[in-house]
Structure 1
Amino acid sequence: MIKITLINTLVVALVVLIHYESLWYLSKLLPRIHIAPKYRTLIGVVGALMAHTVEIWIFGLVFYWMHHDFGFGEFKGDFSGALLDCVYFSFTTYSTLGFGDITPTGDIRFLTGIVSLTGLVLITWTASFLFLEMQRDWGKSE
């Protein structure tokens, strides 16, 4: 139990750090870009989506490793054990969409729960960031 808690803590800390750094960088970059405000917003959206994609892939890689390391549990259902299956599961879990076609068993379930919570928090953080960026430029002439 200590091992899974440590792994979960480290991977969540890593993705939160990546997200923080991505939004910080975007907050410094966007005001310096001399284009129409609506296009700056689009750059912010694309940058945030890139950050989320990196974070989802990190979770997918950890799922892949945990699935193939004996003792953490496994995935059942429409799952072949391939890396892309783990990334797909990570996408659906991170976004809290959860189709239910893949079911985790064993200790790997704890990471599944924390991925959902982390995704919810980071997606909300991104929405707040983009709202503030849009608010700063709202009504400016193009």
Structure 2
Amino acid sequence: MDVLARQLLISTAVVSATVLIHLLGLDALQGLLRWHLERFTRWINLDRVLVPLGVVLGLFVLHGLEIWLYALVYWKMQMLPTLEQALYFSTSSYSTVGETGAILPDRWRIVGVLEAINGMLLIGWSTAFLFQILHHLMWDDSDNHPLPKGAIARASKPRRTRQK
């Protein structure tokens, strides 16, 4: 198989896997958030801190899984000699920081560049998710959202709950 075709095939598989991980992870985060808000919001006053913190930590876990997936591909396919180098390279590439000292062999460098594009898109998706969740929970008055509106809004705004 041609070197470029092999790089594109591997990149497509890993990008597809990370998008699936991200999609399922965001769905799970939203489900956990809904579960928390339906059961605990009435008696826990710390939700203005706990909810954003929980969502951000959940997003870190998702991105960590995706970075580790790339690192394991780099290491298992012997693109980089050690797991530590593979993880460091993957984190740097995914976050688009750039130069890490570790360099992929020429026959694999397209995979690293495509990881950077993938990471940029997934981080942007997470940012949009976080903004949308926080906007809805704190300020939004629309009825077409799966989470309870205004669930962590300031006390000056009356708290509304979704009718079932």
From the two aligned structures, give the one with the greater strand fraction.
Answer: 1
- How big is the alpha-carbon RMSD for the aligned residues of Structure 1 and Structure 2? 1.6
The answer on whether the counterparts of 1:19 and 1:51 sit within 8 Å (CA) in structure 2 is yes
Match of 1:30 among 19, 33, 58: 33
Q: Displacement of 1:24 after TM fit?
A: 1.1
Gaps of 5+ in 2: 42-46, 140-152, 156-164
Higher relative CO (Cα under 8 Å, sequence separation at least 6) belongs to: 1
Give the alignment of 1:75-114 within 5 angstroms.
81-114=81-114
Q: Which residue of 2 aligns with 1:6?
A: 9
Q: Output the TM-score relative to the length of structure 2.
A: 0.74
Aligned 8 A contact 2:71 2:90 in 1:
yes
SS in 2 for 1:63: helix
| Paired position in structure 2 for 1:64 | 75
Distance 2:76 2:28 in 1: 30
State the Cα distance separating 1:39 from its structure 2 match: 1.1
Q: Which structure has greater helix proportion?
A: 1
**Which has the higher Rg, Structure 1 or Structure 2?**
2
Task: Output the amino acid matched with 1:52.
Answer: H
Shift of 1:131: 0.4
> Please, which of 40, 44, 51 is the counterpart of residue 51 of structure 2?
40
Distance in 2 (CA, whole Å) between partners of 1:136 and 1:31 is: 12
> Residues 136 and 38 (structure 1 numbering): CA distance in 2 closer, same or farther, change over 3 Å?
farther
Query: Which consecutive residues of structure 1, in runs of 5 or more, have no partner in the other structure?
Result: 69-73, 76-80
- The corresponding residue for 2:150 is none
Q: Give the number of aligned pairs.
A: 131
- After TM superposition, which residue ranges in structure 1, 4 or more long, deviate above 3 angstroms? none
Q: Normalising by structure 1, report the TM-score.
A: 0.84
C-alpha displacement of 1:50: 0.1
Code of the residue aligned with 2:72 in structure 1: it is: L
